[in-house]
Amino acid sequence: MTAALRFRDLTLGYDRHPAVHHLDGVVEQGSLLAVCGPNGGGKSTLLKGIVGALPPLGGAVERVTCAANQIAYLPQAADIDRSFPVNVFDMVAMGHFRRAGWFGGLSRADREKTYEAIAAVGLTGFEDRAIGTLSGGQMQRVLFARLLLQDAPIILLDEPFNAIDQRTTTELLDLVKRWRDEGRTVIAVLHDLDLVRRTFPQTLLLARETIAWGETSDVLRAENLLAARRMVEAFDREAHECARVA
């Protein structure tokens, strides 16, 4: 299998205080990988490092199959400003940005693809609705439609099914499976371990450092989950800063 991403002794953090320590490993192209672990374990930090929003304190992220700006990234819902005055159509159409740029304008084909993406997530008829009027599940459908237009080889999802209804979760999971079938690499931060066991063949259990990484059934064992919780509880928040990387 071809590697999509490679982590080499990767350390990530904020203000030189590490949140992910010395991560090594390979994400193969076409993988469906869940990233699990306790709160404060560095899961969201890892996604920010992969997409290039957070530079390493040490080591490296090697993006083998594409550049950082070709990776599609869905942050947590809390990180999205829903007061921004934009409607559903325009929000989804932002998925064309990488190709068209902010001032490139939309072609007729682009507009047709935007309508198709909105239909694919079950929001036909919502095109003119302001995003601030949407429910949590409807907003998540909008964001998945935008991901469809990005047509990215690597897709990062940070808690994509948090606080949404079961029907929406099921339908959005169908899109995730479609991406896998298309050979795309999908990495999702998730807390619902039952969902992970049902849907994600590979899991990285992260608690600031790797607890286990491999087949989901092997990783999500009780002893590994206990070790992950203890690792985060034992973290020293007064630890010395990392040296700056030259």
CATH number at residue 230: 3.40.50.300
- How many degrees, rounded to 5, is the angle at CA 160 between CA 154 and CA 166? 130
Residue 244 CB: number of other CB atoms within 10 A?
8
Report the number of distinct structural domains present in the chain.
Answer: 1
Residue 42, pLDDT score = 95
Task: Say what the pTM is.
Answer: 0.91
Q: What is the CA radius of gyration of the chain?
A: 18
Residue given tokens 């690499």 in the structure block: 185
- Report the pLDDT value the prediction gives residue 226, as an integer from 0 to 100: 96
Q: Running along the chain, 246 residues long, what does each successive block of 10 average in pLDDT?
A: 94 90 96 96 97 96 94 87 90 84 75 96 97 94 96 96 92 95 97 96 97 98 95 62 42
* Domain that residue 216 falls in: 1-71+153-162+185-246
Give the Cα separation of 127 and 20 in Å (integer).
Answer: 40
Greatest CA separation for the chain:
56
* Domain-embedded: residue 103: no
The verdict on residue 79 lying in a domain is: no
Question: Is 172 contained in some domain?
Answer: no
- Cα separation of 97 and 57, whole Å? 30
219: in domain? yes
